[in-house]
Amino acid sequence: MIPKKELQYYSSLLTKKHRKEENKFIVEGKKSVMEGVSSSYSCEIIFVTDNFIEENKDTITEIAKKKKKLMTL
């Protein structure tokens, strides 16, 4: 489970002001996330639901191969 403080931090990135301050952005959707993971951008963390894991085992395997931090909600 994600700590409250960390959840607040990532939630703050939903606003343009905080994204600019931190020089970070959020990507949503399976296709966009996989493009981001495969790009030259540095991926800090990927949040997924249990349902997503069950329905997309191949995607989870691909993310794990790239050694990205994965956290379930």
> Could you read off the pLDDT of 9-67 as tens digits, one per residue?
999 999 999 999 999 999 999 999 999 888 998 999 999 999 999 999 999 998 989 88
- 72 contacts 53 by C-beta, under 8 angstroms: yes
Looking at the chain, how many residues does it have? 73
Alpha helices in 1-73 (DSSP H): 4-12, 16-22, 30-38, 50-55, 57-65
Pairwise CA distance, residues 19 & 15, whole Å: 6
SS3 of 2, please? coil
Please tell me the pTM assigned to this model. 0.80
